[in-house]
Structure 1
Amino acid sequence: MHDGNVITAVLIFLKRTLSKEILFRELEVRQVALRHLIHFLKEIGDQKLLLDLFRFLDRTEELALSHYREHLNIQDPEKRKEFLKTCIGLPFSAEDSAHVQDQYTLLERQIIIEANDRHLESSGQTEIFRKHPRKASILNMPLVTTLFYACFYHYTESEGTFSSPVNLKKTFKIPDRQYVLTALAARAKLRAWNDVDALFTTKNWLGYTKKRAPIGFHRVVEILHKNSAPVQILQEYVNLVEDVDTKLNLATKFKCHDVVIDTCRDLKDRQQLLAYRSKVDKGSAEEEKIDVILSSSQIRWKN
């Protein structure tokens, strides 16, 4: 029999025969046995004795984490929320404390949103729920899933509502990149192209607008294509990709003919334009456009 198994067997016997206080005192000076008992209690899920042990040993952070893990066994959202509330203020590290607080706040929000949306859906009076019935509850879902849900069903809501994506972003300090990525995925899935456009349009103090994408326009293009965006929409965003090689690759991959043609013209790359001519349909507007460019005397080709 392995030494560890012997220790565990002895500990089981002692656990049954000794009072907690005596057992804990004896183990305090026997670190190997103590580690085995902690492991054993975690294995069998004896949370109460484990908490008592950590309390006795004054291992406060482990005590807090062990108590916190109990929430995983609570299925009822209201009860889970109330239990998480008891975890706030326990002696966690600063990072863990923030995580527990966020988890409590998120579940609190989810319960409110879920009740409201279930009512809206069952009433049949809200278009978004009629067109796109919910596939699952958002209770106990991760933050990013909740944000996607909010961007899908509650995108235009004012910041003052719990289900507003902007409210979620501010409350949970969601980085711009993550917010934009999630909002883009949700609005593109709904084919809400105006919302997509607004997501990347910024205005400076002089009133000039420009497009800006914290995730990079190449990512925007990939997500738009995945959601079957029309070619006109794709072309607009492919054109915003700064790196020329990436732009050409994306334009070729997604058949954004005008972007490929215009880029080859701007690069004065006759050979690449000729090669691309063979990829467009015979007699198409694209072929005609290429022929006009190739026959132009205004362009000084580099090859």
Structure 2
Amino acid sequence: MDDDDYWNTSETKESAFSFDDVLSPQEILAIGKKACSGQSEDSVFNSSNINSTRRDLVPLASLVSPKALELIVLAQSGNDLKDAMPEQHITVAVTLRRLVLGRSCSLHVHRSMKSKTELLDGAIELGDGNAILAIVCFLLQTLNKKLVHELLSSRPLALSHYVGYLHSEGKIAELTDLLTMLDRSSEAAMFQFEHMVRCHGDDVEALLRKSGNLQKNHFTQPHVDGHYIKMLTDYCKLLEWQKCADKKELRNKSSLRCLSYCCESHWHEGAGNIMSPLTLCQRQQITPLQYDWVVLNVHANANKWDIVESLFTKKNWFGRTTVSTHIPIETLLSRLAELKASEHIMATCVDKIQSNEERIRLAHKYKIHSVIAESAGKQKDRSGLFGMT
């Protein structure tokens, strides 16, 4: 039998070109989890043996729910009914299948409350975000808004999708109404605040005006978190300070960025002056730890080590220099090393540590020879002296 006769026989055609063996969803999800036939675990083609910067593939199960995948597999198998059917015969299941597969369908054939609720619950069960959003929007068109909000309040997944949709589309008024009706006033207020800052950028005057309105209309609602109220109050104070400072580079910047500017340009201003670092700290309730950290970085980066030393060290009753700072000592040492501080300053910091072992460990870590020598001398440890590098 020649080649043409072989391939034209009916038996060969059936065995070689059978498309009836459609993979199940479980088999599709398993693709990539096991080696192909003829490929051993130690094969050079095994992905674990290839030096590549390509990240691992995302599991299919994390992208599509098993039930949605079943619909897709059914459609690809050819067993799915694609023909148009009379409107009165279109069931919830048919509509959901068409939504998931991206086919055209009319949601308006579902007129009863029962049918609409089943649509929403079916989409949630399938876990298809697009279907959920399409149905929620349909419900808002055909039902009372309050009724839709009640439906969403008992369906967290649908509510989450809808909140995300409103936020991404910038529909803040609708989002605020929804969250307020659901007694989530704190979230509504924060979405309004975020939207205000995004829209008005560095326009301090507009931000001040809008912040006042926001405070009256949203941050006075019941159940708004007290932390959020304080945050907005502090933000308004900062905007007022920025308005007085009248520096373009400081508009709508954080308190710490403003403090950094004051330390750089107005370090010697006395307390009470609007640009004094101490005045800003008091006004914005900047913590001592934050103040110390900003001052350290600003003056060390400017090579003003005399200011750093005068601020972080002091003399005790016995005339010995000690460190006075709110920054944890190991964090301080690490940062000083990065900023290329002198050995004298580093040694002063290490001397503050009570534990002798810890002091020696850090002295070796940061190569503070004076501390190593002093500790070795006290312990009469000659090997410690010779171990300095």
TM-score by length of 1: 0.69
Tell me: CA distance 1:265–1:98, structure 2 relative to 1, closer, same or farther (3 Å). Answer: same
For the pair shown, the structure with the greater C-alpha radius of gyration is: 2
Query: 2:193 maps to what in 1?
Result: 68
Query: 1:275 maps to what in 2?
Result: 387
Query: 2:176 maps to what in 1?
Result: 51
Tell me: CA distance 1:208–1:189, structure 2 relative to 1, closer, same or farther (3 Å). Answer: same
Does 2:239 correspond to 1:107?
yes
Does the CA contact (< 8 Å) of 2:263 and 2:298 recur in 1? yes
SS in 2 for 1:140: coil
**1:87, distance to aligned residue in structure 2 (A):** 2.2
Tell me: CA distance 1:138–1:246, structure 2 relative to 1, closer, same or farther (3 Å). Answer: farther
Post-superposition Cα deviations, 1:209-247, rounded to whole Å, max 9, x if no partner, equal 854232244433333332222333333333333333333
Tell me: CA distance 1:49–1:232, structure 2 relative to 1, closer, same or farther (3 Å). Answer: closer
Does 2:270 correspond to 1:179?
no
**1:263, distance to aligned residue in structure 2 (A):** 1.5
1:246 equivalent among 358, 380, 388: 358
Query: 2:373 maps to what in 1?
Result: 261
Post-superposition Cα deviations, 1:251-270, rounded to whole Å, max 9, x if no partner, equal 33444322221121012212
Letter paired with 1:165: P
Greater relative CO, 1 or 2 (CA 8 Å, sep 6+): 1
SS in 2 for 1:228: coil
Tell me: CA distance 1:265–1:140, structure 2 relative to 1, closer, same or farther (3 Å). Answer: same
Tell me: CA distance 1:246–1:182, structure 2 relative to 1, closer, same or farther (3 Å). Answer: farther
Does 2:135 correspond to 1:10?
yes
Does the CA contact (< 8 Å) of 1:24 and 1:53 recur in 2? no
Does the CA contact (< 8 Å) of 2:313 and 2:324 recur in 1? yes
**Distance in 1 of aligned mates of 2:315 and 2:281:** 21
**Distance in 2 of aligned mates of 1:240 and 1:29:** 61
Query: 2:203 maps to what in 1?
Result: 77
Letter paired with 1:11: V
Letter paired with 1:272: G
Does the CA contact (< 8 Å) of 1:148 and 1:186 recur in 2? yes
Of 194-203 and 160-169, more deviation after overlay is shown by 194-203
Does the CA contact (< 8 Å) of 1:102 and 1:172 recur in 2? yes
Does 2:96 correspond to 1:96?
no
SS in 1 for 2:297: helix
Does the CA contact (< 8 Å) of 2:139 and 2:148 recur in 1? no
Letter paired with 1:146: C
Query: 1:154 maps to what in 2?
Result: 266
**1:105, distance to aligned residue in structure 2 (A):** 1.9
**Distance in 2 of aligned mates of 1:169 and 1:55:** 35
Does the CA contact (< 8 Å) of 1:234 and 1:256 recur in 2? yes
Post-superposition Cα deviations, 1:7-40, rounded to whole Å, max 9, x if no partner, equal 422333454x56xxx6313214423366654443
Tell me: CA distance 1:14–1:226, structure 2 relative to 1, closer, same or farther (3 Å). Answer: same
Tell me: CA distance 1:177–1:248, structure 2 relative to 1, closer, same or farther (3 Å). Answer: same
Post-superposition Cα deviations, 1:19-66, rounded to whole Å, max 9, x if no partner, equal xxx631321442336665444322322112223444555653343233
**Distance in 2 of aligned mates of 1:228 and 1:204:** 26
Tell me: CA distance 1:222–1:65, structure 2 relative to 1, closer, same or farther (3 Å). Answer: closer
**Distance in 2 of aligned mates of 1:239 and 1:212:** 12
**Distance in 1 of aligned mates of 2:211 and 2:149:** 30
**Alignment gaps of 5+ in structure 2:** 1-98, 101-122, 125-129
SS in 1 for 2:387: helix
Post-superposition Cα deviations, 1:73-99, rounded to whole Å, max 9, x if no partner, equal 222422233222322242331111011
**How large is the Cα RMSD of the aligned pairs?**
3.3
Does 2:213 correspond to 1:86?
yes
Letter paired with 1:10: I
Tell me: CA distance 1:256–1:76, structure 2 relative to 1, closer, same or farther (3 Å). Answer: closer
1:26 equivalent among 147, 164, 168: 147
Aligned pairs, how many? 253
Tell me: CA distance 1:249–1:110, structure 2 relative to 1, closer, same or farther (3 Å). Answer: farther
TM-score by length of 2: 0.56
